[in-house]
Every structure is written in structure tokens, then in C-alpha cells.
Structure 1
Amino acid sequence: MADGPLLRALFRCHLWASARLMPVLVTNRSFEEVLRWAPLASSTPYRGLPSAYIVASVNRTVRHPWLMRDRRCLREGLLGHRFLRLAGFDPDLRFGVEPQSMQAQRLSAHCWVCLDGKPVVSDKLPGMVEIYRHHADAVKARPA
């Protein structure tokens, strides 16, 4: 389907519903279960939508979080990755930690989405060390 008003309306409805459901569906889940919201392969019902439109829509949809306030980047990252993938793009979802927080009671972590190596949803924070990259190539490279 080519980019047009109907495709954009369907996309916005799907994004809105996903943004509202995700906080409930990822609560108390393992990291692997949470990553299911960022599929590495999917159909492409939103092919034709520009990546800039998808990113702007994700940012607009999650700008006033009423749930997941303390994990805002995770919500943005999962939605950004998911909907870029549904549009046929090849994003990667990156995770980092602040090394000084490793000894603290609460780990300081962050995630962001890159497309063609450039951050498009959030960005790496100063002092963060990247610890995981969720991307199809990384999964293929894992030993069996």
C-alpha cells in the first residue's frame, strides 16, 4: 500500500493502541519477553511511510506518559523499533548502562533506536556504555 491518508490513519490507530497496551503487557516480564515488542522480522503493512514520519509519530504519541514514566526510553524504543520494522526499515534497538550505577541499588539503564547507525528515537546518554544491540544481524551471529 502506498503512503496515503488511509495508511497513515491505520498506522496512527495501531500506534496509539500499542502505546496504551504496552505498559500493561510488559510489566513484570523478562527482558526476552519485553523484546518481543521489538520484532526482528515482521510483515510490512506500513511500507511506504517515511521513517521521519514514524519517528515523529512515536515521539508525539508517548510525549505525556501516564504509565512507564520511569521507563520512558524503553516505551519509546520498543514502539520506535516495532513500527519502523513494520514499515520495512531495519532499525536496531540499543541498550546501555551507566557504569557507576553497577554498584548502586538501582541500575541506571537507557535504550535508543538507530537507523543506518544514526540515533532516531532518543540517543545514547553521556557516560552510558552500550551493552546490547537488538538487531537481526546480532541474533544470526549468536552461536547455537
Structure 2
Amino acid sequence: MADGPLLRALFRAHLWASARLMPALVGKRDFEAVLKWAPLTSSTPYRGLPSAYIVASVNRAVRHPWLMRDRRCLREGLLAHRFLRLAGFDPDLRFGVDPQSLHAPRLSAHCWVCLEGRPVVSDSLPGMVEIYRHHAEPGKARAA
């Protein structure tokens, strides 16, 4: 289906529902279960939508978080990765940690999405060390 009003309306409805359901479905699940929200292969029902449109729509959908407030980058990253993939793009979801937080009561972690090697949703924060890259490479993800 070519980019048009119907495709954009379907995309916006799917994104809206996914953004609202994600906090309940991701909850306090382990990392492997969370990554199921960022499939490495998928159909491409939104092929034809520009990546900039998808990223802007995701940013709008998560603008006022009332759930997952402390994990905003995760929510934004999972949604962006998922919908870019559904549009036929090949994004990678990157995860990093602040080494200074390794001995703190709470680990400081961050995620961001890159497309063709460039950050499109968030970016690595100063001091963060990339520890994992979720990316389709002959059917599997790879560690950084």
C-alpha cells in the first residue's frame, strides 16, 4: 500500500493502541521478554511511510507518559524500532549503561534507535557504554 491518508490513519491507530498497551505488556518482564516488542523480522504493512514521519509520530505518542515515566527511552525505543521495522526499515535498538552506576543501588541505563548508523530516536548519553545492539543480522541479534 502506498503512503496515503488511509495508511497513515491505520498506522496512527496502531501506534496509539501499542503505546497505551505497552506499559501493561512490558511491565516488569525480563529483558528477553521486553525485546519481543522489537521484532527482528516482521511483515511490512506500513511500507511507504517515511522514517521521519514514523519517528515524529512515536515522539508524539510518548510525549506525556503517565506510565513507564522512569523508562521513557525504553518505551520510545521499542515503539520506534517496532514501527520502523513494520514500515520495512532496518533499525537497530541500542542499549547502554553508565559504568559509574554499576555499584549504585540503581543501574543507570539508556536505549536509543539508529537507522543506517545514525541516531533517530534519542542518542547515547555522555558516559554511557553500549552493551547490546538489537539488530537483524541473518536472523539474529548481536552483542556490541
Compute the TM-score of the two structures, normalised by the length of structure 2: 0.96
> Paired residue for 1:70?
70
Cα distance in structure 2, aligned partners of 1:109 and 1:61: 22
Cα distance in structure 1, aligned partners of 2:81 and 2:31: 15
Q: Please state if 1:41 is matched with 2:45.
A: no
Query: Does the 8 A contact of 2:96 with 2:109 survive in 1?
Result: yes
Deviations 1:48-107 (A, max 9, x none): 000000000000110100100000000000000000000000000000000000010100
25-34 or 47-56, larger mean C-alpha shift:
25-34
> Paired residue for 1:22?
22
Q: Taking every aligned residue pair, what percent have the same amino acid on both sides? A: 86
Aligned residue-pair number: 142
Structural mapping, 1:1-144, within 5 Å: 1-137=1-137, 140=140
Name the aligned partner's letter for residue 119 of structure 1: P
Gaps of 5+ in 1: none
Gaps of 5+ in 2: none
Name the aligned partner's letter for residue 68 of structure 2: M
Instruction: Compare the two structures and name the one with the higher helix fraction.
Output: 1
Name the aligned partner's letter for residue 17 of structure 1: A
Give the superposition deviation at 1:141: 7.2
Cα distance in structure 2, aligned partners of 1:126 and 1:17: 33
Instruction: Compare the two structures and name the one with the higher strand fraction.
Output: 2
Compute the TM-score of the two structures, normalised by the length of structure 1: 0.96
Cα distance in structure 2, aligned partners of 1:74 and 1:138: 24
Give the superposition deviation at 1:136: 1.0
Give the superposition deviation at 1:137: 1.6
Name the aligned partner's letter for residue 42 of structure 1: S
Name the aligned partner's letter for residue 52 of structure 1: A
Cα distance in structure 2, aligned partners of 1:80 and 1:95: 14
Residue aligned with 1:103, SS: coil
